């Protein structure tokens, strides 16, 4: 695991935009994770959402538990960051 992932410290208050700045591939991951996020393909909509959407909100909208979503995002970052 890289030091960047340790420092990211993802929790329920973390903004998706903060994660996407460091790991741009997270946007596509979210779109693949749930059909509810298909609208995020629109760059303008993603930009607007990313500055307001926390992990807790994404969890609520996707139907995943917060802890599960954090694990999935962290795992995806680790796999891509190898």
Per-residue model confidence (pLDDT) at position 7: 56
pTM of the shown model: 0.83
Q: How far is CA 42 from CA 11, 22, 23, 46, 71, in A?
A: 25, 19, 18, 6, 26
Instruction: Taking residues 24-43, report their average pLDDT.
Output: 91
Instruction: Taking residues 8-30, report their average pLDDT.
Output: 92
**Which residues share a beta bridge with 15?**
54
Query: 8 falls in which pLDDT band (50, 70, 90)?
Result: low
Average pLDDT, the chain: 87
Domain of residue 30 covers 3-80
Structurally, the chain folds into a number of domains equal to 1
């Amino acid at each position: 695991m890289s030091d960047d992932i340790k420092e990211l410290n993802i929790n329920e208050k973390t903004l998706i935009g903060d994660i996407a700045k460091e790991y741009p591939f997270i946007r596509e991951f979210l779109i693949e994770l749930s059909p509810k996020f298909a609208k995020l393909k629109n760059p303008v909509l993603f930009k607007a959402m990313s500055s307001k959407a926390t992990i807790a909100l994404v969890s609520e909208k996707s139907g995943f538990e917060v802890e599960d979503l954090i694990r999935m995002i962290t795992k995806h970052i680790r796999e891509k960051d190898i």
